């Protein structure tokens, strides 16, 4: 049996019909929703990860690309988990570059918040660590919601290495975005900056908190002392 069919068969064995019926509402699969057209089998993330660990070494990039184009959400997420594992476990820079190229070539298939959040900073972040990061600014200026979310989430890797400039600059690009999924993503990354350097996040918020979306602000100040949180929420600064 072809390895791609083996992956699908293993995933299908974890099919949970009841869970699969509930997920479309959670991921807004309805017409006009941000996940319109997605299909779900109801497979949990831990089970997807277990299948990924089993096959990532042997499956080729062409098969992973094919899996990314499946309509079933869990197939695409499992493909991304395997791409992440291949990237992380490889010391071959040429293979890592191929993985990044595949990711960018098929970026339209990284098209829901979990697909973005569980892949962008594990692949693009590390790859760009010692390279020019203009790519992320180009992605941030895209008209695609998910591509823009990839741009800001990818900077998590930089934050963890105490590099904040790109996060703050991309946050400024996305500051007036209309969608709450970008508000949440930017707020989350600002909060991560604050976990590493409170003063850097505080200074950014002092400059922008009065004009940023309320959801973004709430996410950003979640870990601040209550008195400071209330000061931002009530516009006292």
What the block records as the tokens of 53 is 């660990």
Q: Measure the CA angle with vertex 172, ends 196 and 158; round to 5°.
A: 35
Q: How far apart are CA 17 and CA 119, in angstroms?
A: 26
Mean pLDDT of the chain: 95
Torsions phi, psi of 174, nearest 5? -95, 5
For the structural domain made of 1-118, what CATH number should be given?
1.25.10.90
Domain 1-118 shares a fold with domain 133-237: yes
Looking at the whole model, is its pTM more than 0.85?
A: yes
| pLDDT over 90 at 34, yes or no | no
pLDDT in tens, 13-26: 999 888 878 887 77
pLDDT in tens, 127-172: 999 999 999 999 999 999 999 999 999 999 999 999 999 999 999 9
Lowest mean pLDDT among 37-46, 56-65, 159-168, 211-220: 37-46
Q: How far apart are CA 145 and CA 162, in angstroms?
A: 26
| pLDDT over 80 at 1, yes or no | no
SS3 assignment for 193-233: HHHHCHHHHHHHHHHHCCCCCHHHHHHHCCCCCHHHHHHHH
Among residues of the chain, what percentage have pLDDT more than 90?
88
Q: Measure the CA angle with vertex 158, ends 151 and 57; round to 5°.
A: 80
Map out the domains of the chain as residue ranges: 1-118, 133-237
Q: How far apart are CA 189 and CA 194, in angstroms?
A: 9
Contact between 208 and 174 under an 8 Å Cβ cutoff? The reply is no
Q: How far apart are CA 109 and CA 65, in angstroms?
A: 10
For the structural domain made of 133-237, what CATH number should be given?
1.25.10.90
pLDDT in tens, 70-88: 999 999 999 999 999 999 9
pLDDT tier for residue 100 given thresholds of 50, 70 and 90: very high
Q: What pLDDT, on the 0 to 100 scale, is given for residue 30? A: 76
Q: What pLDDT, on the 0 to 100 scale, is given for residue 27? A: 83
């Amino acid at each position: 049996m072809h390895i791609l069919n083996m992956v699908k068969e293993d995933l299908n064995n974890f099919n949970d019909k009841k869970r699969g019926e509930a997920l479309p509402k959670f991921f807004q699969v309805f017409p006009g929703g941000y996940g319109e057209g997605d299909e779900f089998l109801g497979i949990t993330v831990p089970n997807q990860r277990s299948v990924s660990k089993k096959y990532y070494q042997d499956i080729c990039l062409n098969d992973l690309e094919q899996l990314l184009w499946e309509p079933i959400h869990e197939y695409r997420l499992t493909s991304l988990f395997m791409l992440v594992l291949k990237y992380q476990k490889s010391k071959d820079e040429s293979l890592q570059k191929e993985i990044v190229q595949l990711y960018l070539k098929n970026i339209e298939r990284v098209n829901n918040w979990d697909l973005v959040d569980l892949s962008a900073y594990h692949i693009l972040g590390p790859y760009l660590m010692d390279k020019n990061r203009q790519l992320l600014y180009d992605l941030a200026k895209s008209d695609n919601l998910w591509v823009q979310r990839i741009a800001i989430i990818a900077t998590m890797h930089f934050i963890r290495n105490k590099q904040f400039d790109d996060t703050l600059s991309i946050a400024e690009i996305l500051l007036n975005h209309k969608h709450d999924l970008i508000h949440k993503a930017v707020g989350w990354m600002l909060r991560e900056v604050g976990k590493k350097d409170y003063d850097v996040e505080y200074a950014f918020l002092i400059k922008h908190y009065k004009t940023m979306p309320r959801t973004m602000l709430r996410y950003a100040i979640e870990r601040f002392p209550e008195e400071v949180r209330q000061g931002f929420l009530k516009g006292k600064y």
